[in-house]
Amino acid sequence: MSVRICYLQRASGGDAIAAVRLVGERSDETWVAPPNDPDASPTADVEAAADWIVQRLGAIGPKTGIDLLCLDADGSGCAWVSAPSAEPAVVAAIARQSASPLTDTEHRPVSPIALYAESSEDSVVAVLGEPAASSPPKRRFTLPARGKPAGAAAARPQRLPVLAVVDLPARLLIDALDERGVAVGGVCSVWQAVTAWFDRSRPASAPSAPDLTQGQVRASVVIDPAGRLLWAWSVNGSLLACGAARLPVERPGVEAGEGKSAGGVPATTGNPGAWTAGAAPTPILGPDQASRLAADWLAWSVQLGRSPTRIACLAPAPGGVPQATGFGESLAKAWPTASLDLAYADDPIASVLSRLAETIDDRGSGGGSGPGEAVAVLAEPTARPTRAHRSLMIWSALGIAGLAGATGVAAYRVRVEAGLAWAEAQRVEGRWNEAVKSVDARFLAKPDQAILDMDKVIRDLEAASKPRTGGYTVMPIREEIATLAMVLGDPDLELIDLTVTGSLTSSVTIEIKGSLDQATGLQQALSEIAGSKIASWSSPQPTARGGNDPNRLNYRLIGVWAPDAGVRLGGAKP
């Protein structure tokens, strides 16, 4: 699917749109903002640019968005910031803090970053060396403290390379495109695009931050025909440092000594970011520019402790820049430790963007879905809420409101049902009290125990009214006494006690007063008596003396009923 990259060229320090380029793998179209109209709306250029982009996308074919919005170098700067933490929010707060006054008369020292990061509403601050916006950073390159061990670096402020970009026009353009149904996949700076053009060692999928202390440092130099030299250092495909330098430009058709071209445009301009229609300017390159670039690099290499070992330079066509070869030779002499590759293109910026579009298409993230992992992006403008986000929030809010309404209806119904159940419970309790009172009002003295008390009374009544079942045995007590009387009636025996029990396990006990011979004879007579139901008698057992006569004692004889002595009766016992 065709990839489209929108290159936003700005003016007035990055606050206004000067031109918009829509670059694809084999296409390049440009829209130039009209002259400033004091009576026009502040967003007139943004609306016009959005309309042009939508019109061109519709002319190309079915398209739902642009894959990447690339910001030029105007209104951007790269410098070092000392911060207590490497978290992006902390670094951004420190960078913007230097731009605010301490008092009405006292001001903080203004850093280069503060010039481009006055407010979070119109600028973005990115810590260089970050991975893709979709991957949280875990490791960054920091400069160790001098004279202190490496472990103490975390306890002191860290010096971090930071890129600040004024992105207000980009935010307005994203909103305008979103209103027209065009999505923007991501936002990056021109330096990140230049890094992706030359250093393709960035992995297709970066689960964590790249190790910036390892790998080869590569330098990319791109000459903007508008009159700006862009350079970027990268490690493993991640931007490490960057910068820009303005170049003097020449325009064709300028008569010597007049200082103006035929169209009235100055022969040299000090504002290369301003887009002007007419003849294409020619940047002037030479040993002076190479020396200035080498001095800038030397300062960064001292800060980083590293320097590039390979340099790639992309300049306009040789016919347009006759000094490009001399610039390359001067740069090679000024930086002899690195190999230098010099390439030419009709439009270096268009060449960089076209190659980046090919990379995005090769990695399968084209079609308006975003740059994927082909290039690092600026997190804040890339994550700017769009119509899709607003629709998601609206539908989420409606869903929550609907769920809350359904919950309220369900709660109301539960409350109504609970009221009906309570009323029914009161009616049942009233009927139950009346029924209990009709039986025994004492149960209502303790309502909580009434059921337990009633249950106990019912069990007692059931146990009392339940008939006994099963038979029992009746002993022939009268018949046995009559039989024993035939022996016990002997006048020589003095009977003291006769006890007879009726159960099968009981016995007959006879206690007499007499001599041992009498007691033994009685045992013998009882054992031999006919018709007796006593199975056996025990031997006489003396219990006490029988008066003053030592030969007379009290003896006890115990007889045991025979197993078949009783009569088994069945049925209920009254």
457/506 same-domain check: no
Helix runs in 529-567, H state only: none
Residues 501-517 pLDDT 10s: 765 556 778 777 777 88
87 lies in a domain? Answer: yes
Highest mean pLDDT among 126-140, 213-227, 328-342, 410-424: 410-424
287 lies in a domain? Answer: no
310 lies in a domain? Answer: no
Residues 465-503 pLDDT 10s: 776 655 667 788 888 888 888 887 777 777 788 887 765
Better-scored residue on pLDDT, 104 or 34: 34
351/446 same-domain check: no
Which burial class, exposed, middle or buried, applies to 497 when counting CB atoms under 10 A from its CB (0-12, 13-18, 19+)?
exposed
Q: Give percent of the chain with pLDDT exceeding 90.
A: 23
Report the chain's mean pLDDT, rounded to a whole number.
78
The arithmetic mean of pLDDT across residues 198-208, rounded, is: 58
378/514 same-domain check: no
> Of 360, 362, 354, whose CA–CA distance to 375 is shortest?
360
- Inter-residue contact 293 to 229 (CB < 8 Å): yes
Q: How confident is the model at residue 546 (pLDDT cuts 50, 70, 90)?
A: low
Rounded CA separation 373/238 (Å): 11
Query: Residue 211: its pLDDT value, please?
Result: 54
318 lies in a domain? Answer: no
Task: Enumerate the β-bridge partners of residue 534.
Answer: 561
> Can you count the helices (H) and strands (E) in the chain?
13, 24
302 lies in a domain? Answer: no
Number of domains in the chain: 3
Mode of pairing for the β-strands spanning 507-514 and 553-561: antiparallel
The first and second tokens of residue 523, run together, are 């045992």
- Inter-residue contact 532 to 481 (CB < 8 Å): no
Residues 59-105 pLDDT 10s: 766 656 888 999 999 989 898 888 888 888 888 888 777 555 555 55
What are the Cα distances from residue 207, in Å, to 30, 87, 138, 188? 37, 18, 10, 20
453/482 same-domain check: no
Rounded CA separation 529/28 (Å): 146
Query: Residue 376: its pLDDT value, please?
Result: 76
SS3 content of the chain, % helix, strand, coil (to 5): 35, 25, 40
54/160 same-domain check: yes
The first and second tokens of residue 521, run together, are 């004879």
60 lies in a domain? Answer: yes
- Inter-residue contact 338 to 308 (CB < 8 Å): yes
The arithmetic mean of pLDDT across residues 331-357, rounded, is: 90
Rounded CA separation 173/49 (Å): 8
Rounded CA separation 412/532 (Å): 91
456/557 same-domain check: no
The arithmetic mean of pLDDT across residues 9-31, rounded, is: 90
Out of 450, 466, 482, a domain closes at: 466
20/109 same-domain check: yes
Where b means 16+ CB within 10 Å and e means fewer, 523-534 reads bebbeeeeebbb
Statement: residue 400 has pLDDT above 90 = yes
Better-scored residue on pLDDT, 460 or 72: 72
| 3-class SS of residue 108 | coil
User: Which residues have CB under 8 Å from 510's CB, separation 6+?
Assistant: 484, 488, 495, 497, 498, 522, 526, 556, 557, 558, 559
- Inter-residue contact 487 to 526 (CB < 8 Å): yes
452/500 same-domain check: no
Out of 424, 447, 466, a domain closes at: 466
The arithmetic mean of pLDDT across residues 16-35, rounded, is: 90
384 lies in a domain? Answer: yes
What is the residue type of 225? P
74/202 same-domain check: yes
The arithmetic mean of pLDDT across residues 1-25, rounded, is: 89
Task: Give the domain extent around 459.
Answer: 435-466
> Of 10, 75, 94, whose CA–CA distance to 49 is shortest?
10
DSSP state of 266: B
483/446 same-domain check: no
Statement: residue 205 has pLDDT above 70 = no
CATH label of the domain that carries residue 521: 3.30.70.60
460/526 same-domain check: no
pTM check: above 0.85: no
Highest mean pLDDT among 287-301, 317-331, 532-546: 287-301
221 lies in a domain? Answer: no
Statement: residue 52 has pLDDT above 90 = yes
What are the Cα distances from residue 313, in Å, to 133, 220, 291, 327? 28, 6, 15, 10
The arithmetic mean of pLDDT across residues 216-240, rounded, is: 90
61/84 same-domain check: yes
What does the H/E/C string look like for 223-245? EECCCEEEEEEEECCEEEEEEEE
